[in-house]
Structure 1
Amino acid sequence: MIGKTRPPSVDPAKPRGVLRTRLDHGEFQHARRAPSAALAGLIEHYWYVGWDLRGLPAQQQETLPHPNVQLIIEPGAAGIYGVHTGRFTRLLEGQGRVFGIKFKAGGFYPFLRTPVSTLMDRSLGVADVFGAAAQTLESEVLACDGLDAMAIVAERFLHAHLPAADAQVERISTLVADIANDRSVTSVDQLTTRTGLSKRALQRLFQQYVGIGPKWVINRYRLHEAIAQLQEGKPVAWADLALELGYFDQAHFIRDFRKLVGRSPADYARVESAGRR
């Protein structure tokens, strides 16, 4: 059995993994809504992003990956996206809006019924999973004005396609929430102790339900924690932060950070500091 979730060491209500916390100009909206109790075991939240840059230069937004499948709808495009292993970059221009359903880690498997790892770094059309009814979902969501109305449409659709209950979903989603919220989790060995599962069994469980291995999930959430600390603007001792996040030394931390974010921790901190002035 998985141990009880420890008190979170990070704020679960605050979006994590957004590399640019503010745009240089224009209007930008970001909102989230929790699912109903009936869907809370499968859905993390619904989200909405809107922007208005008409007459202004385009701006680039970047986000870090999460171990979640997402169903995303916007004018002219809709899809189901598996775990993306690199940072996601989007050029925002003109006026636009996007609605998303973020499934809990493991929460999309009951809909897909095949290993979620088959979706890693790729996407499917919504109809590939939900059939012709996907067209109704897309059109009704895009006809809505605002997140609340969009979420109601999504809830109605998901209720109509609710899969059979799967006890493993709660198990894996609780474990991933532990990893996300407890910064002391820095190794797969710790997970084997908590769960009583072998490393091989954990790997199979994560590949089937989450779509990526447990080591990757741990590493990404610890890097999310590093980003959050740098965004707060507090002085950072890099060697201490690296050790706190489970790295053997500062060099390995900087290497992983640069590979994912595209710049060193110090460079990222300087850019964020300049944006706050």
Structure 2
Amino acid sequence: MEYVGRAPCPPLDRFVDDIYCLSGVPRHRRMNIPPMPSAHLFLNLGDPVLLRDSAPGVPPAVLAEGWFMGLWTRRFVVEYPARVRLVGVHFKPWGLAPFVGVPASELRDRWLPVDTVWRRSVDRIRNRIGDTGSAAHTLDVLEAELLSRLAEAPPRGLDLVLHAGGRLVTSGGAVPVAALATEAGVSGNHLAAQFKAHAGVTPKRLARIYRFARLILAVDARRPTGWPELAYTAGYFDQAHFSREFKDFTGHTPTEYLALRRRFPAAPGFPPDAGPMPAD
């Protein structure tokens, strides 16, 4: 499967990490996706994709056209068709706020069809892309759509979240949340309320996801892995807490995850393999 991605132009880069195309035959049909610090937009140009929540009793969603996903705080599984043609957007955790007009708390751990937010848009976007459009053309179309949807004035409180969120990014989630509030000159309760409104979770919970992402992306299965050192570097100071959170986020113990990563190494230069793991 081919991945073509790029970072968007300003001002989209304040809210979007990258836009990308996936096409071709997947190496693995089912991928286990751990929580990562991003929200998503998927536009499906091919056969349906299944999204399966790890929470018990939640029916799978059939991604036949397009879906928004808020920040995900637990793992989920993507089940690809035999051939893939998918366009995606990785939003920053707070990045959906100026595009969808839906409180982020209502999108946390949920998927929502694009047309319920952007009325009658999916067919128009797909028609502009066409059946044989190149990856570059596809990304141009999607970037233009995002620019046209970007609110002229950011929602109230978003600038505060952008500033504090930037500190979480640069620290890998290691900065104390109390320090974020102090630097911003607001109370901890006010900061938490703004993060819930624009990212769907408190800064403390988002910091946990950033710490985990920093850890999981640092794993190199080709070399001996010292989990205590990796955990400490990522900001985990309690090994029991680290082990529980790792199992919650991946479905595996650190030892099991490392064994799987050695059996199924990430493809070089293929970001969709960096954190996710085959679920088969």
For Structure 1 versus Structure 2, the TM-score category normalised by the shorter chain is 0.7 to 0.9
Residue number in structure 2 paired with 1:270:
259
Query: Does the alignment pair 1:149 with 2:137?
Result: yes
In the TM superposition, residue 142 of structure 1 has moved relative to its aligned partner by: 5.3
Residue number in structure 2 paired with 1:102:
90
Residue number in structure 2 paired with 1:161:
149
The 5-angstrom pairing of residues 133-144 of structure 1 reads 133-141=121-129, 143-144=131-132
CA-based RMSD of the aligned residues comes to: 2.6
Query: Retained in 2: the 8 A contact 1:117–1:211?
Result: yes
For the residue of structure 1 that corresponds to 2:14, the secondary structure is coil
Distance 1:93 1:125 in 2: 19
Matching residue's letter, 2:162: S
Moved more, 78-87 or 255-264: 78-87
In the TM superposition, residue 262 of structure 1 has moved relative to its aligned partner by: 0.9
Distance 1:40 1:240, change over 3 A: closer
Task: Give ranges in structure 2 of 5+ residues lacking alignment.
Answer: 47-63, 267-280
TM-score computed with the length of structure 1 as normaliser:
0.78
For the residue of structure 2 that corresponds to 1:263, the secondary structure is coil
For the residue of structure 1 that corresponds to 2:117, the secondary structure is helix
Distance 1:230 1:102, change over 3 A: closer
Residue number in structure 2 paired with 1:235:
224
Query: Retained in 2: the 8 A contact 1:46–1:102?
Result: yes
Residue number in structure 1 paired with 2:185:
196
Task: Give ranges in structure 1 of 5+ residues lacking alignment.
Answer: 1-27
Distance 1:221 1:144, change over 3 A: farther
Moved more, 116-125 or 167-176: 167-176
Distance 1:131 1:137 in 2: 12
Residue number in structure 1 paired with 2:106:
118
Runs of 4+ with deviation above 4 angstroms: none
In the TM superposition, residue 232 of structure 1 has moved relative to its aligned partner by: 5.3
Percent of paired sites with the same residue: 25
**CA displacement, residues 117-143 of structure 1 (integer Å, 9 cap, x when unaligned):** 111121222222222234301332353
Residue number in structure 2 paired with 1:84:
72
The 5-angstrom pairing of residues 1-277 of structure 1 reads 28-52=1-25, 59-74=29-44, 75=46, 76-141=64-129, 143-166=131-154, 168-183=157-172, 185-231=174-220, 233-276=222-265
Distance 1:92 1:71 in 2: 16
For the residue of structure 2 that corresponds to 1:247, the secondary structure is coil
Count of matched residue positions in the alignment of Structure 1 and Structure 2? 247
Distance 2:221 2:160 in 1: 32
